[in-house]
Structure 1
Amino acid sequence: MRSKHYLMLWALLIISCGPIKELGGTQNNTPSLGAIGKEHKSILNKKFEQIGSPKIEEGITISVLEIPFTKSEFKTYVQYKKGRGEESNLVFTDSIASKPEYLKLNISDKINLLTQLNNENNSNVRSYLANDGEYTIVTEISLLANENLTDRLKKAEHVFLVEDNNGLLILEILESNQRTIVKWSDLEIFDYGLSGFCWGKNRYGNLVIKTINGDNSGCPKGTEKKPSKLNDIKPYLKL
């Protein structure tokens, strides 16, 4: 009888410990470039809750880098695949010098992004962001794609973040004066990087985004992450 109790306790221990390893770091809905929202983190996972995206009138330059996986990055990719109910076809061996590679796309022209965020057509976006200093924007994504698309992204003259006819943000590749649209669904986006907003006032005393904080940490002197901390904030006015 006692041996049965031991077996039952051992089975419960295995069941209770197993799922924790599988859930760690899983991201089922990885956001795309330009998405605005909040990140929610816990011990088991992180999730980006998107509320929208800015309006883009002029394409924003995107940099493309091919980077070898680190052990930590590969673990993130494997967890992403598990979250989709899929197995990874890549093999990572820490002791072997040659590592599988992935692409990192980054909004490199943050000045252009900042200018467009402060344009009149994004006044509603700014009004919404000004109500909560915790909102961030996705300025970097890590991804894998098929061999042909990977090669095109690496060799493209330019890659832009643009707005399509439906008002959605998409990627555009420029090659030999030919423009090609890249669907987010054609990319395995397994991780992302966020930037925060630092607020200040323009010469008219109106609230504007002064900088896009690349590491989402502290804001430069004279700016604030939370607009409410600025002294004598006027009601939001058009620029």
Structure 2
Amino acid sequence: MKRYLYLILCVLISSCYVLPQKNKLYQAYSSVDLGVLGEQKKTVRKNSFEVVGIPTYFHPIKLDFTSREFNNQNFKSYQRFLESTTKKDIIVYDDSLKVKPNYFELKINDKVSVIDEINNRGFNHKVKNYLYYNPELTLVTQIKFVAQPKVLQYLKQADALYLFTKDNNQSYILLYKEGKVIHELNSSELQVFQYEVSSFCWNVHKMGGARIVGLVDEGELCENGAARNPIKEIYKREKQKINHY
């Protein structure tokens, strides 16, 4: 009896490892920018995010900004990032400190505008076409980071933040206060040590063609008839038509 219970337990544990995780934050081993396209590259030692495309955001995308205290787990993640880059350590952390240093989170709040930029703007035509034929690609929608004190001063003053593209497709974070831009933050100024990605959902038209209709967290399914892979969805529908006749 004990042997059967052991086997059942092993199966359950193994199943947990293959299920997709929702809201999974990945360890960053190199610079990762908010709003870029790419895919996870798995190696024996670690995973990395390989950027394959950068959508253009000429219409600013609203971001959520959060400040949080470091704990042991997040600090270890930050240290792993430093070990893989040439960035300098700018955080003094000790678990015994009464006042812990902070790290920060930026998350894309307005996914509707991201979808609109890729679907309807001519300057993103190549990006959309590449996504159509490579539906496994994901978009970086959240980052955890630290930055130099001067940058933090601007972040603390701002009451709204937006993702924006300018200067040879370079990403910037626009910092607003009372409706005016007080600083343009280059993404390269951020030390991103963790990131989260989202997947695209497509709506395939009856008359042909497809449009992006959603961005979902990893592990979530597309809803309302949308599909993760538009090419497979078209093939499935064509096959159903043939079988019907």
Q: TM-score, normalised by structure 2?
A: 0.75
Q: Distance in 2 between matches of 1:172 and 1:137?
A: 20
Q: Distance in 2 between matches of 1:31 and 1:97?
A: 31
8 Å CA contact 1:27, 1:45 repeated in 2: no
CA shift in 2, pair 1:48/1:103, >3 Å: same
Query: Following TM superposition, by how much is the alpha carbon of 1:221 offset from its aligned partner in structure 2, in angstroms?
Result: 4.0
The equivalent of 2:141 in structure 1 is 139
Query: Following TM superposition, by how much is the alpha carbon of 1:217 offset from its aligned partner in structure 2, in angstroms?
Result: 3.4
Deviations along 1:27-67, whole A, 9 cap, x unmatched?
44231011111112345322111112112221011111001
The equivalent of 1:155 in structure 2 is 157
8 Å CA contact 1:159, 1:174 repeated in 2: yes
CA shift in 2, pair 1:45/1:26, >3 Å: farther
Percent of pairs with identical residues: 25
Q: Secondary structure at the match of 1:84?
A: coil
RMSD (CA atoms) = 2.5
8 Å CA contact 1:104, 1:142 repeated in 2: yes
8 Å CA contact 1:153, 1:173 repeated in 2: yes
Q: Distance in 2 between matches of 1:175 and 1:218?
A: 37
Q: Distance in 2 between matches of 1:153 and 1:91?
A: 21
8 Å CA contact 2:106, 2:144 repeated in 1: yes
The equivalent of 1:215 in structure 2 is 218
8 Å CA contact 1:65, 1:154 repeated in 2: no
Letter in 1 for 2:120: N
The number of aligned residues is 209
The equivalent of 1:13 in structure 2 is none
Letter in 1 for 2:211: V
Q: Distance in 1 between matches of 2:190 and 2:212?
A: 31
Letter in 2 for 1:156: A
The equivalent of 2:130 in structure 1 is 128
CA shift in 2, pair 1:27/1:63, >3 Å: closer
Letter in 2 for 1:76: S
The equivalent of 1:200 in structure 2 is 203
Q: Secondary structure at the match of 2:59?
A: coil
8 Å CA contact 1:66, 1:154 repeated in 2: no
8 Å CA contact 1:74, 1:92 repeated in 2: no
Q: TM-score, normalised by structure 1?
A: 0.77
Structure 2: give runs of 5+ residues left out of the alignment.
Answer: 1-25, 239-245
8 Å CA contact 1:173, 1:182 repeated in 2: yes
8 Å CA contact 2:119, 2:212 repeated in 1: yes
8 Å CA contact 2:163, 2:171 repeated in 1: yes
8 Å CA contact 2:158, 2:182 repeated in 1: no
Structure 1 runs of 4+ aligned residues shifted over 6 Å read none
Q: Distance in 1 between matches of 2:207 and 2:164?
A: 30
Letter in 1 for 2:126: N
CA shift in 2, pair 1:107/1:27, >3 Å: closer
Structure 1: give runs of 5+ residues left out of the alignment.
Answer: 1-24, 235-239
